[in-house]
């Protein structure tokens, strides 16, 4: 039955075309289809090429590019890389702007771990195990107020300290925040010795590898053996990546700890200088 109905519909359509007074349907040129196909192909190829050369950060998050393992930190290539990275650090527009501010004399710069004793450095997490190209290639650069009420810390994070490939491990960001916050908090304690009592962190956005990140710290309270600080991690564009607040306390056994080593680890306040504090050259290989 359905077959008979279909045949009737076909006959009606045929008779309608016979008695139609409208103009005949226009025939499309086959070249029009070729032009459309060529245009679509050109757009696709251009989009793919631009995406490969300048990928959106979230594309690298979904499908990161392959990267080699961190190299030997003592190799000539590594030393050359560190020297070039130090030059990039010193020429960052952020640092140039901060050094040119009207209140620049109220700040000083220092490099934590730069003068840290070797026998202590080798057993340190951030100055030893995590130090080197592809990881934490440079000692942090700290720019702090002379009254120690706030500080700006610039750190480079490499590809070898990721959780998800291409994304810095959240635990490493917590470590960087802990040490950066600790510096401001501990300097404001009576004996300049302290430990982390509480650290609360909120991750706001992925932190991509192979970039400089900025930690901004502010002292919010200090009383006796306790100090409280807040901080955040930003990229160089000012996007907030992580936020944190912490409490540090001076232990009752503070007098038993090596305060000189702690000061070397945090970086000594430098006197006012017309030139920035540079990374010391690497020692010659034995």
Give residue-wise pLDDT tens across range 108-131.
999 998 888 888 888 889 988 999
- Residue-wise pLDDT tens digits, 206-245: 999 999 999 999 999 999 999 999 999 999 999 999 999 9
Residue 266: pLDDT band by 50, 70, 90 thresholds? confident
- As given in the structure block, the two tokens for residue 198 are 């509480």
What's the pLDDT score for residue 71? 75
Q: Quickly state the pLDDT bin for 74 (edges 50, 70, 90).
A: confident
Please determine, for residue 21, whether its predicted confidence score (pLDDT) is greater than 60.
no
Task: Taking residues 165-169, report their average pLDDT.
Answer: 93
Query: What does the alpha-carbon distance between residue 99 and residue 275 come to, in Å, rounded to a whole number?
Result: 10
Sheet order of strands, 226-235 included: 107-110, 141-145, 150-157, 211-223, 226-235, 240-249, 195-203
The mean pLDDT of 72-80, rounded to a whole number, is: 84
Please state the pTM of the whole predicted model.
0.73
- The mean pLDDT value for 194-217 works out to 96
Q: Is the pLDDT of residue 9 over 60?
A: no
Instruction: Tell me which of 141 and 74 has the higher pLDDT.
Output: 141
DSSP state at residue 125? I
Percentage of the chain modeled with pLDDT above 90: 51
């Amino acid at each position: 039955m359905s077959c008979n109905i279909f045949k009737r519909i076909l006959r009606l359509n045929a008779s309608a075309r016979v008695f139609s007074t409208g103009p005949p349907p226009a025939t499309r040129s086959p070249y029009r289809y070729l032009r459309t196909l060529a245009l679509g192909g050109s757009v696709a190829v251009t989009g793919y090429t631009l995406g490969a050369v300048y990928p959106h950060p979230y594309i690298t998050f979904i499908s990161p590019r392959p990267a080699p393992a961190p190299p030997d930190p003592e190799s000539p290539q590594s030393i050359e890389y560190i020297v070039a990275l130090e030059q990039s650090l010193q020429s960052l527009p952020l640092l140039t702007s901060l050094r040119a501010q009207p209140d620049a004399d109220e700040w000083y710069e220092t490099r934590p771990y730069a003068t840290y004793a070797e026998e202590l450095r080798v057993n340190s997490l951030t100055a030893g195990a995590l130090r080197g190209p592809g990881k934490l290639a440079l000692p942090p650069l700290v720019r702090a107020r002379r009254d120690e009420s706030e500080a700006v810390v610039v750190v480079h994070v490499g590809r070898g300290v990721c959780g998800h490939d291409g994304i810095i491990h959240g635990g490493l960001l917590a470590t960087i925040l802990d040490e950066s916050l600790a510096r401001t908090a501990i300097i404001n304690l009576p004996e300049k010795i302290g430990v982390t009592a509480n650290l609360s962190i909120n991750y706001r956005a992925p932190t991509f590898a192979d970039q400089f990140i900025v930690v901004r710290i502010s002292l919010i309270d200090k009383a006796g053996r306790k100090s409280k600080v807040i901080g955040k991690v930003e990229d160089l564009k000012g996007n907030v990546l992580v936020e944190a607040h912490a409490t540090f306390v001076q232990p009752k056994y503070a007098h038993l700890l090596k305060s000189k080593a702690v000061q070397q680890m945090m970086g000594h306040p430098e006197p006012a200088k017309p030139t920035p504090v540079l990374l010391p050259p690497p020692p010659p290989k034995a």
